[in-house]
Amino acid sequence: MVLNGPQRRGRSAGRGARRVPVVILAGFLGAGKTTLLNHLLAGTRGTRIGVVVNDFGSVNVDALSVAGQVDSMVSLENGCLCCAVDASGLDRMLSTLTDPSADLDLVVVEASGLAEPRSLVRLVLASEDPYLEYGGLVELVDAAEFPAMREQHPELADQVAMADLVVLNKVDRAADGVAELVGELAGATPVLPTEFGRIDPELLFDRVDRGRHAGPRQLTFDDLRFEDAEAGCGSGDDHDDHTGHAHTAYDTVTVETGPLHPRRFAAFLETRPAGLYRMKGTVSVGVPGHGDAYEVHTVGAYVRVERVAPQADPATGLVLIGAGVDADGLRAEVERCSTAVAGEAVEQDLLPLLRYVVDPSRNGGDAGVAGVDEGTDGHIGEGADGAWPVNPAEFGADEFTAVDDVVVADPDVVVGDPEDGAADPEDEARPEPAPTGCVAHPEAFDGLVAPEDFDPER
Ligand SMILES: Nc1nc2c(ncn2[C@@H]2O[C@H](COP(=O)(O)OP(=O)(O)OP(=O)(O)O)[C@@H](O)[C@H]2O)c(=O)[nH]1
């Protein structure tokens, strides 16, 4: 049993520290959330998952005689953890679960009974926990009932639109036209059809091979590859039957190439295709004199870029996961960003990428970003007063002349108007940024709150 994790607020995770994705699982009554959670807990070959529920209810922990306890945690035979909290204990519980001592690969929070999905997303995005990473809002939709439910509960459409990944469950009983309807509401968000919540757990997290490497470590790209033999789908007896399993419904694209042209790559980030759910990996930039590499993590609309130690052999390795994406086209798009194709970059080409870089000092980290005044409280593209990051496609980055001139070095100036560096009143009106990344659709998460201010009833 893992209990009483240390208080870690303000502690440094250090460069390249492993973060545990926290996924929020939402869905209307009976959509199959518990079924999906049980599937995750049962089918995790050697991976460790923590689930947070409002009460133990029907999650399969009966043998441990803990049903009904609140604010408690149980250790399951396969190494997974299950805990029940009320909303007030959630932030503390997430810190306990993401602590390296818990050695988990993924934490899933079942939204029902705890708080609105939107509030939970805010809580996770606002967390200053250096070991926690936003893992996405997964919305479970009941393919049998959704069209009728939607009539009675119009808010369901908003939840679908807000999700990072839509899981269309119960496709064995799908109502006519439901896939089209949900696809329309989901817009650019990928929609994954499933039965009995049998999603591939690795869709949600990065695999760690515990056989060869005990304890947390830096992920390798091999870890991120999906191999059917090791996919861990299903709960054992159905492992050869992939019908309805998630990895029949999504594509994984691995790209290994040389250094990237940062401006081209930033443009790719901005225009990444509908259906691309996750992207993770390390990018080297082909800018002479800049040896640093960048770890890139996207979930739905969320993007986090973090500087990591320079690589001996500058290379780029990315894994992209999506539903209904053109895998070859996607690989070609990333490869077109390599300096071998795009040509060598110059220093100011870093700027559009640096706009996404997390300032590690926000997480107690040990370094700033190359070319940025390390004493500031924001990353490039974000005013030091915390104004929302500017979309590089909108701000005309071409007009900057040198990274060292970037106005974020001056805490009184908000990046907004590249012409004169003056604050853009619209920027000032934007909400507080997420401390560990950027959400491309900030309007979806208006009014981010600090964890200590989190009000689960809002
Ligand atoms: N036919 C069919 N039934 C399913 C599927 N997934 C789940 N169910 C059934 O749907 C019912 C509800 O599933 P749950 O997992 O309890 O749903 P839930 O979202 O946790 O429900 P609440 O906790 O009440 O909100 C159960 O009887 C499941 O066995 C599916 O893909 N097909």
| Residue-wise DSSP of 115-132 | --HHHHHHHHHH---TTE
**What value does the mean pLDDT take over residues 390-418?**
29
Which whole number is the average pLDDT over 207-215?
48
Q: What gap in Å lies between CA 75 and CA 58, rounded to an integer?
A: 16
- pLDDT for the residue 243: 39
Task: Tell me how far the alpha carbon of residue 169 lies from the centroid of ligand 1, in angstroms.
Answer: 9
How far apart CA 347 and CA 29 sit, in angstroms, is 52
Ligand 1 atom with the shortest distance to the CA of 110: 20
Tell me the β-bridge partners of 81. 50, 75
Q: Which atom of ligand 1 is nearest to the CA of 38?
A: 15
Chain centroid offset of residue 55 CA: 25
Q: CA 306, CA 282: separation in Å to the nearest integer?
A: 9
Calpha distance 428→400 (Å, rounded): 21
Burial of 379 (0-12, 13-18, 19+ CB in 10 A): buried
pLDDT (tens digit, 9 = 90+) per residue, 228-268?
334 433 333 343 343 334 445 678 899 999 999 999 999 99
Amino acid at 452: E
ipTM of the complex: 0.99
| Ligand 1 atom nearest 37 alpha carbon | 15
What's the mean pLDDT in 271-288?
88
How would residue 455 be classed by pLDDT, with cut points 50, 70 and 90?
Answer: low
- Which residues have C-beta atoms less than 6 Å from ligand 1? 27, 29-35, 112, 169-170, 172-173, 195-197
Test site for ligand 1: of 34, 53, 110, 141, most ligand atoms within 8 A of the Cβ? 34
Question: From ligand 1's centre to the CA of 32, what distance in Å?
Answer: 4
Ligand 1: centre distance to CA 237 (Å): 20
Question: 41-55, 158-172, 212-226, 332-346: which has the minimum mean pLDDT?
Answer: 212-226
Query: Helix 262-270 to helix 327-335 angle, to the nearest 10 degrees?
Result: 150
Does the structure show a pLDDT above 80 at 337? Answer: yes
Q: Band the pLDDT of 207: cuts 50, 70, 90.
A: low
Q: Ligand 1: which of 29, 34, 35, 112 to mutate, most ligand atoms within 8 Å of CB?
A: 35
Distance (Å) from CA 88 to ligand 1 centroid = 27
What domains, with CATH codes, occur in the chain?
20-246 (3.40.50.300), 252-444 (3.30.1220.10)
Tens-digit pLDDT profile for residues 65-108: 333 333 456 656 656 666 666 667 788 888 888 999 888 888 99
Check residue 227 and give its pLDDT: 39
| Mean pLDDT, the chain, integer | 68
Distance 441 CA to ligand 1 centre (A): 31
